[in-house]
Amino acid sequence: MNDKKLVCNCMNITIADIRSAVKSGADTFDKVQSKTGASTSCKRCIEYAENVFKAIMDGE
Ligand code: FES
């Protein structure tokens, strides 16, 4: 994955931001949302953001 890629436009969250949330202990997508704010506004990005989260959890 290209870590510079934007996942959530509203909150300006990249793959790298999701990765650092996971590294600092977010082990559910809910926790990633709380830590980063990702997918908490229009929510159009939520499916993609959840897939990115799962890929990171799978070691990508
Ligand atoms: S693009 Fe992510 S909440 Fe709107």
Q: What's the pLDDT tens digit per position in 31-59?
A: 999 999 999 999 999 999 999 999 999 99
Flag whether the pTM goes above 0.85: yes
Ligand 1 probe mutation, 5, 6, 11, most atoms within 8 A of CB: 11
Q: What percent of the chain lies above the pLDDT cut of 90?
A: 100
Cα torsion through 42, 44, 49, 54, rounded to 10: 120
What are the domain boundaries of the chain? Answer: 6-57
Of ligand 1's listed atoms, the one at least distance from the Cα of 9 is 1
Tell me the average pLDDT of the chain: 98
Residue 19's pLDDT is what?
98
> Which CATH number is correct for 6-57, 3.30.420.40, 3.40.50.2000, 2.30.22.10, 1.10.10.1100?
1.10.10.1100
For ligand 1, residues with CB inside 6 Å are 8-11, 39, 41-45
